[in-house]
Amino acid sequence: MKICLNGKVLKLNKGFNFCGSLTAEEGEVGNRGRPSQNIGGQAVIEGVMMRAPGSFAIAVRRKDGEIAVRRQNIGIDHSKLFKKPIFRGMVGLYDALVLGIKALNFSAEQSGNEDEKITKSQSFFGLLFGLVLGVLLFVFAPLWITEFLKRFFPLIEGSFLVYNAVDGVIRVIFFLAYIIIISRMKDIQRVFEYHGAEHKSIFTYEAGLALTVENARGMSRFHPRCGTSFLLIVMIVAIIIFSLIPKDSAFIIKLSSRIVLLPLIAGVSYEVLKFSARFKNNIFVKLLIAPGLWLQRLTTREPDDSELEVAIASINVALSEADEKLDGVIYV
């Protein structure tokens, strides 16, 4: 398959089709009857991180207009365990936490001044702060509010299904409020444009077209396997799985159980997301994925051609061989 970057036509060694996903896998049958790979991505500061089977790449637009890239191999993809259902969804947590932080650090360095370097301690405490904030906002606070409300509403106290439904609804409200608030920030709006560029470039591969700015420009920015849709599915699946925790348990038991069960919830949610993407033309599946696609109207923006170019560069580098250097980008 031929691809185009900065007006230059390049060739990839792997002539496969790709579809957007949270994590990268191999071994499925594509729309041309050949083995295909899934490629997923994440928008970062002035750039895009793309995840291919066995590797990931980050492409960032520098202040001088050049595109800086970095590619690394990923050993976890070679584990047979993490290719099995449920377990493969847990790789998404690794991607979001470990690779996501690496991508954000790289993008912050390359998009700013050259002398701005993020130390390992800054990266560690940044990750720790994000995890603590996430647990407080989306696990502790909804549970605490639900415990408070059950004192005044006997139905919450008497039914574990109602209890977890209330807990889940509060979590969804917090999530939507969080998305709405950050979507009003100018810097985040720029990231959301790169999010749209990520989806459009992946859709171009899914359509079996040459990966050019012209082809990507006409694609949709709403993808059924987006991480935004995944998070919404996670919150729905969590209501069901958290219902397995005895409602009479102590608060600390309920809280710790919710944290411990997060990898399982991520695994189940990924399978739901994968199923919905495979049967996205089914009327019932369309209804299932509609809220996630609607939510992407908040988390994506229409990208310009320069942002599409960065997303294309990220895919190209992610799919290249480890010792291969592509033209039109600067390797860091």
User: Residue 225 burial by CB count (10 A; 0-12/13-18/19+): exposed, middle or buried?
Assistant: buried
Tell me which DSSP letter residue 97 carries.
I
Structure tokens at 224: 């059924």
Q: What is the rounded CA–CA span in Å between residue 321 and residue 242? A: 43
Distance CA 167, CA 139 (A): 9
Q: Which two tokens stand for residue 80?
A: 């047979």
Backbone angles phi, psi at 171, to 5 degrees: -65, -45
pLDDT of residue 11: 36
| CA angle, residues 275, 97, 59, in degrees to nearest 5 | 90
Report residue 64's pLDDT band, with 50, 70 and 90 as the boundaries.
very high
pLDDT at 115 over 60: no
In this prediction, residue 26 has a pLDDT band, given cuts at 50, 70 and 90, of: very low
Residues 46-78 as b or e (16 or more Cβ within 10 Å = b):
bbbbbbbbbbbbbbbbbeeeebbbbbeebeebe
At 4 the pLDDT is 43
Tokens of 290: 């509609």
What pLDDT is stored for residue 88 in this prediction?
81
Rounded to whole angstroms, how far apart are CA atoms 159 and 238? 16
* Residue percentage of the chain with pLDDT more than 90: 44
Least confident of 8-12, 34-38, 42-46, 147-151: 8-12
Q: Which position has the higher pLDDT, 113 or 21?
A: 113
Kindly state the average pLDDT of the residues 232-245: 89
d(CA 73, CA 54): 6
Residue 212 has pLDDT above 90, yes or no: yes
Contacts of 90 (CB under 8 A, 6+ apart): 82, 263, 266, 267, 270
Paired tokens of 97 = 């936490």
Tens digits of per-residue pLDDT, 239-269? 889 888 887 889 999 999 999 999 899 899 9
pLDDT at residue 216, rounded to an integer:
96
What is the chain's alpha carbon radius of gyration, rounded to the nearest angstrom?
A: 21
Pick the range with the lowest mean pLDDT from 126-130, 146-150, 188-192: 126-130
User: What pLDDT does 15 receive?
Assistant: 31
Q: Could you tell me if 200 and 220 are in contact, meaning their C-beta atoms sit under 8 angstroms apart?
A: yes
Using an 8 Å Cβ cutoff, are 82 and 76 in contact?
yes
Q: Supply the range of the domain harboring residue 149.
A: 2-331
Q: Is the pLDDT of residue 133 over 70?
A: yes
Total tally of structural domains belonging to the chain? 1
Place of tokens 């992407």: 296
